[in-house]
Amino acid sequence: MSVTHILDTSALLAHYFDEPGAEEVQGLWASGSGKPGICAVTVTELKVRLREELTEDAEAEQAVEAYLEELTICLPVDRVVAELAWQVKESVSERIPLIDALIAATARARNAVLVHRDPHLACIPREVVDQLVLPG
């Protein structure tokens, strides 16, 4: 199954908390074209962010597992992705956190659309990574 979209942590959080952009993310699952992908580093970032936002650790863990086991395909960070992350960082003049560069590079490695709502990711040129920028 080919992955056509890579979800950034910001897209998953918008979906989970039913914030602006949640409908667009839900539409990716409803389209029937397969599961969106996530970069492996998103697992850590999602767990951290949900544990910060939710009062129950069990609720955070359950949410993460639902996204990992049922709704997405988790993709590894390999040497190709690591090299592409460098290229992503070099393509912009402003600072992009390494974890976000790895997520964007995962989309580039798969020729997939990066789905996010982060202004610093939106500055990546479209010829480097195709993007769906969610409302913030």
When divided into structural domains, the chain yields a total of: 1
Strand partners, 38: 74
Q: Which residues on adjacent β-strands are paired with residue 50? A: none
**Euclidean distance between CA atoms 73 and 36, whole angstroms:** 6
The CA distances from residue 33 to 72, 79, 126, 134, in Å, are: 12, 28, 23, 20
Q: pLDDT (tens digit, 9 = 90+) per residue, 40-66?
A: 999 999 999 999 999 888 888 898 998
- Least confident among 5-9, 61-65, 73-77, 125-129: 61-65
Q: What CATH number does residue 44 fall under? A: 3.40.50.1010
SS3 91: coil
d(CA 131, CA 125): 9
Q: Which amino acid is at 62?
A: Q
Task: Enter the pTM of the model.
Answer: 0.93
Residue 99 domain boundaries: 5-133
What CA–CA distance (Å, rounded) separates 105 from 110? 9
pLDDT tens digits for 58-102? Answer: 888 898 998 888 889 999 999 999 999 999 999 999 999 999 999
Please give the structure tokens belonging to residue 64: 């993460």
